[in-house]
């Protein structure tokens, strides 16, 4: 009898703890489609982007091309699904960050831009442009409540891998 009660007590305790933890957790137990899956890129302004890229190459060993560089990584525990994070320096006079007045812009990788666009429209999020589609993915820009422009990218990783070339690290 004791051999049965002890495992049952353990299961009951675990189940109760799990239920209470989920009840009080702010993280939803079901992750919805149409969400950020990672950082797709970090972009910032500089007085002389080419010179700064050379400095990052010389001092920090970041190999750069005209776009910046990419850091290759793998998506979660699935070592067959490669991902990348773009690092780019833009000139101070770039209009790419407009209408934001900030010096930085983050590009988020997302899993379903269509669902997100519907949610943005329903919640009156400022959408800066229309979704642009390229062979390596879809892009759109939105503004957060603090005036930060955000670039959202639903990547086509299979195609994008071909663009990475020598700058991948």
Enumerate domains of the chain plus CATH numbers: 36-167 (3.10.180.10)
In terms of Cα–Cα distance, which of 151, 156, 164, 108 is closest to 135? 156
CA distance 74 to 106: 19
Q: What is the pLDDT of residues 9-37, one digit of tens each?
A: 444 454 445 444 544 455 556 667 888 88
Task: Report the C-alpha gap between 151 and 147 in whole angstroms.
Answer: 13
For residue 159, pLDDT beyond 60: yes
The model's pLDDT over 84-127, given as tens digits with 9 standing for 90+, comes to 888 999 999 999 999 999 999 999 888 899 999 999 999 999 99
Distance CA 130, CA 141 (A): 8
- Record the pTM: 0.68
CA distance 22 to 15: 11
């Amino acid at each position: 009898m004791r051999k049965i009660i002890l495992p049952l007590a353990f299961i009951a305790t675990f189940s109760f703890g799990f239920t209470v933890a989920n009840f009080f957790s702010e993280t939803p137990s079901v992750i919805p489609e149409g969400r950020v899956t990672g950082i797709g890129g970090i972009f910032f302004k500089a007085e002389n982007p080419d010179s700064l890229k050379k400095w990052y190459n010389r001092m920090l060993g970041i190999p750069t091309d005209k776009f910046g560089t990419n850091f290759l990584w793998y998506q979660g525990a699935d070592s067959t699904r490669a991902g990348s994070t773009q690092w780019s320096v833009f000139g101070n006079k770039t209009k790419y960050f407009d209408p934001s007045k900030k010096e930085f812009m983050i590009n988020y990788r997302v899993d379903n831009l269509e669902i997100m666009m519907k949610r943005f429209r329903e919640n009156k999020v400022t959408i800066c442009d229309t979704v642009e589609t390229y062979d390596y993915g879809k892009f759109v820009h939105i503004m957060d409540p603090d005036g930060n422009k955000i670039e959202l990218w639903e990547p086509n990783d299979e195609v994008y891998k071909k663009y990475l070339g020598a700058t991948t690290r």
